[in-house]
């Protein structure tokens, strides 16, 4: 059986929790019995500088640890979207936080625009969990890991006493992803007629 590697890039700015989100996604893949590599980079600023976490998930060996052409990309800021969209696979999935990404660059990828930070702020009262909302959206739209694996990984990583908040954030991300996926499918069916 041929192994299939999936490359994911989570991008935005420092302070948005994307490094932690990448670690959680990689740990979820391990919970699913898959091989994974997680890398990260960020600008010299503690907060506000460019930040990205990359995860490769595979059922087989991973020969090269760097993401070259991600199949899935999350952009939590306009700067990140503009900077990295050109590396996204032609048939990839681009998920943007419409709270901060207002212009989608030209791309052949399927684009999902979700108000990730707005959801965290207005529905949970904490922008701090926008990264977990984003993880729910990413995994809900891509099935790159199972739902149970991402729940387990989130609960194992978040600070004690915040489990319920983070589980709700993850569920909201899933819910919005499922709604966006249904709307996209309706649009595709309408275009086909």
List domains and CATH numbers for the chain. Answer: 5-192 (3.40.920.10)
Residue closest to 175 by CA, chosen among 147, 154, 153: 147
For the chain, the residue count is 193
pTM of the complete model: 0.91
Residue 25 and residue 8 in contact, taking contact as beta carbons nearer than 8 Å: yes
Lateral strand order in the sheet of 5-13:
35-42, 50-58, 5-13, 72-75, 93-97, 110-114
Contacts 24+ apart (CB under 8 A), 90-93: 93/141, 93/142
Question: Has residue 130 got a pLDDT over 50?
Answer: yes
Pull the structure tokens for residue 57: 């998930």
Please determine, for residue 189, whether its predicted confidence score (pLDDT) is greater than 90. Answer: no
Give the pLDDT of residue 39: 94
In this prediction, residue 191 carries a pLDDT of: 39
Sole residue written with tokens 């500088």: 49
Average pLDDT of the segment spanning 76-100: 95
Instruction: Tell me the pLDDT tens digit for each residue of 27-73.
Output: 999 999 999 999 998 765 556 667 899 999 999 999 888 898 999 99
- Please report, in angstroms and rounded to a whole number, the separation of the first and last CA atoms in the chain: 37
| 8-state DSSP, 104 | P
Question: What pLDDT is attached to residue 67?
Answer: 92
CA-nearest of 74, 86, 59 to 134 is 74
């Amino acid at each position: 059986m041929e192994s299939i590697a999936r490359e994911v890039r989570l991008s935005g700015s420092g302070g948005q929790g994307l490094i932690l989100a990448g670690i959680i996604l990689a740990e979820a893949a391990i919970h699913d019995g898959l091989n994974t590599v997680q890398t990260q980079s960020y600008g010299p600023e503690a907060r506000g500088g460019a930040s990205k976490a990359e995860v490769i998930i595979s059922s087989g060996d991973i020969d090269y640890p760097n993401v070259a052409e991600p199949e899935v990309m999350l952009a939590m800021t306009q700067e990140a979207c503009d900077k990295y969209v050109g590396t996204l696979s032609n048939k990839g999935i681009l998920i943007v936080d419409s709270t901060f990404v207002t212009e989608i660059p030209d791309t052949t990828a399927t684009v999902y625009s979700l108000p990730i930070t707005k959801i965290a702020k207005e529905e949970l009262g904490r922008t701090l969990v926008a990264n977990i909302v984003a993880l729910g959206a990413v995994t809900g739209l891509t099935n790159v890991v199972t739902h149970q694996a991402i729940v387990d990984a989130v609960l194992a990583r978040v600070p004690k006493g915040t489990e319920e908040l983070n589980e709700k954030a993850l569920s909201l991300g899933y819910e919005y992803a499922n709604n966006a996926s249904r709307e996209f499918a309706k649009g595709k069916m309408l275009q086909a007629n």
